[in-house]
Amino acid sequence: MTSRLDDSAMAAAANRPSATHLTRAAACTRDLLAHWRAAAGGRCIVCRGWCQGGVCPPCGARFAPACELCDGCGLPLLATLAASGDTRCVRCRLAPPPWSRVVAGVAYGYPWDRALADFKFHQRLEPASALLRPLLSRLADVRGADLRVVAVPLSRERLRERGYNQSWELARRLARALSLGARADALFRVRDTGHQLGLHRAARGANLQGAFVVTPRHAAWVRGARIALVDDVLTTGATAHAATRTLRAAGAREVQVWVVARTPPA
Ligand SMILES: [Zn+2]
Ligand SMILES: [Zn+2]
């Protein structure tokens, strides 16, 4: 009798969908809904007018102006430098960052800050196409290039708490739009480093020391590759620095940093 009960309990357990299946199914449903909404058109995230792609052309022109940015730090480049063909500000020329270039879609601020917060903390993934549009227009030169896309990972605890990694949600959409390969778990965050904002530059670097590793499973995929590291916002650059160093130490030939928004200098 007991063994029959055990058998039926085991059979029930075997038929029960695993947590991985459920997560995957939830992600598929989210994607499908986002796809339907996009196909049906939607509202501009700024003026709420009906449009395709999440931002209407007048709001796009106003809040995502096509100005030249420094490819070292992602901040606006002086018009005189841009006019003479320079791609880097003086600071980045004197102290070059470890990445080959930064590509930033917009300056962090209204209305992108609200859409990014919804995207990051409230599981509202619909603004993704609006958030990615300015970045994609700056990435037209890499469509189909030999670049591999990696997202800045969350720690295991943070991922469990939030249920998804917003950087990976952005990274996989970018990879799909640009026909590039991507891996969700090529980089692993060993520990949660907390908020960096209250720390001084040296303390930030120390806090992030050893925070990332390239997973052994993807070591060969990273070695010798050109990598595009995706994050939602670039603020101090400490996280991107640490992740870039880890990727370079694992043999990546080049690392580019792609972000939806760059925080303007204080
Ligand atoms: Zn609008
Ligand atoms: Zn710069």
Residue pair 259/234 in contact (Cβ under 8 Å)? The answer is yes
- What does the pLDDT average to over 69-76? 95
Selection from 217, 213, 247 nearest residue 230 by Cα? 247
Under DSSP, the state recorded for 231 is E
Closest ligand to C-alpha of residue 45 is: 1
Closest ligand to C-alpha of residue 101 is: 2
Domain limits of the chain? Answer: 1-39, 69-262
CA of 266 to the centre of ligand 1 (A): 27
Highest mean pLDDT among 23-32, 48-57, 171-180, 196-205 belongs to 171-180
Q: Where are the beta strands (DSSP E) in the chain?
A: 42-43, 50-51, 101-107, 147-151, 181-183, 187-189, 212-214, 226-234, 254-262
Which residues have their alpha-adjacent CB atom under 5 A from ion ligand 2?
Answer: 70, 72-73, 89, 92
Asked: is 69-262 a CATH 3.40.50 domain? The reply is yes
CA distances from 113 to 65, 118, 265 (A): 16, 9, 15
- What does the pLDDT average to over 85-89? 93
Closest ligand to C-alpha of residue 78 is: 2
pLDDT digits (tens, 9 = 90+) for 177-193: 999 999 999 999 987 76
pLDDT band at 1 (very low <50, low <70, confident <90, very high): very low
CA of 115 to the centre of ligand 1 (A): 13
CA of 58 to the centre of ligand 1 (A): 6
CA of 112 to the centre of ligand 1 (A): 12
pLDDT band at 38 (very low <50, low <70, confident <90, very high): low
Residue pair 147/186 in contact (Cβ under 8 Å)? The answer is no
Where is pLDDT greater, at 236 or 125?
236
